[in-house]
Structure 1
Amino acid sequence: MRPLAAIVFAALLTACASTPDGVELARQLQPRTAWIVGADGQAVGQATFTEAPTGVLIHLEFLDRRLPPGWHGLHLHNRGDCSDFATGFQASGSHVSLSHRVQHGLLNRRGPESGDLPNIFAAPTGIHGAEVFSPYVTLHSARIGNRLPLLDGDGAALLIHANADDQNTQPIGNAGARIACAALTPLP
């Protein structure tokens, strides 16, 4: 092997060894739980984010009568900040997205954005929950392939909207106001 080729080959092996694969990453990263707060700043439930070999599983549990009954849009946003609950959780920024050319919506032929998730249903009474999976994100602090990091420098937020997401209309699928938020922030 030529000396330059040997150096390049060794560098490639080192780079591959330092980047964990999906299975190894899922073993390394601990699940993260965050309170979901409503527009009044009070808890409406909890969200637990668990790294999987090919994405992130989000387990949601809601307290009795804390979300309006019916279908609600669910999105991942690019900043882990839910502090401005009184003004509609705008500090959480926009949807997590791989590119500005990608459009919103799981049913959009030019989508989906990395932060697009299925709708959830809130029962009129009783404790309720849901689980959703996203193959577009990771709990790692850096990008893994095309999976965007939820725990980069400013974290991410899970937002719940007042209405169902139609999964096509720009920019948020007619999902309406942001009514609840869970901040996922990097560990200190």
Structure 2
Amino acid sequence: MRRLSVAMAALCAATLPALAQSSSSGVPPENTASASLISPKGEQLGNATLKQTPHGVLISVELQGIAQGPHGFHIHETGKCDPADGFKSAGGHYNPQGKRHGLLDPAGPHAGDMPNQFVGPSGTLSVQVLNTFVTLEPGTASLFDEDGSALMVHSGPDDYTSQPAGEAGERVACGVIERP
């Protein structure tokens, strides 16, 4: 009986670290990610959390200090947000399937194309978007490929058709998508 108790104690000790990594929502840490979004001046604007669902990735964003109006909102192909280059370091829209840009293009969209987001007079953005074209898990559409990916907010709205990126204007907020 003592051997069984020792074996059970060892098994519990081995599994506790894995259990401790689970979030309070019950989502395993490998199925979550986050991004800290910054301005082109390097100032902290807010955060995003990403959760894998059976139907895609649920992206929750809380930002402050964004101009009122519609803004393009995309996932970009490289996990780098260098304010010195206006966030060009993040590359173009995430597009592992090689599709055309735009939610209204019959040959699109890019996996990183998402609906425009609207900021009210307060300058805050609080939104949840389900992107059904990407995953946090391994595979072709994984946001964790060899060079990572980033969330981007643009100065103007995406027109959903112009190539290659929807004429959404300057990049005003960028956040590298990272594991917790």
Give the shorter-chain TM-score range.
0.7 to 0.9
Instruction: Say if 2:40 and 2:86, in contact at 8 Å, map to a contact too.
Output: yes
Q: Which residue of 2 aligns with 1:110?
A: 107
Equivalent residues in 2 for 1:129-168 (5 A)?
129-143=126-140, 148-168=141-161
Q: Aligned partners of 2:158, 2:144: CA distance in 1, in Å?
A: 25
Aligned AA for 2:90? Answer: S
Instruction: Say if 1:107 and 1:167, in contact at 8 Å, map to a contact too.
Output: yes
Q: Aligned partners of 1:127, 1:172: CA distance in 2, in Å?
A: 24
TM-score, normalising length from structure 1? 0.76
Equivalent residues in 2 for 1:36-115 (5 A)?
36-63=37-64, 66-82=65-81, 84-100=82-98, 102-115=99-112
Q: Aligned partners of 1:116, 1:127: CA distance in 2, in Å?
A: 21
Structure having the higher Rg: 2
- How far is 1:126 from its partner? 5.8
Deviations 1:93-152 (A, max 9, x none): 11111333x110011111111110011111221643111111110012333xxxx00012
Q: Aligned partners of 1:80, 1:53: CA distance in 2, in Å?
A: 24
Q: Which residue of 1 aligns with 2:17?
A: none
Aligned residues: 154
**CA RMSD of superposed structures (Å):** 1.8
Structure 2: runs of 5+ lacking an equivalent: 1-25
Structure 1: runs of 5+ lacking an equivalent: 1-25
Instruction: Say if 1:72 and 1:175, in contact at 8 Å, map to a contact too.
Output: yes
TM-score, normalising length from structure 2? 0.79
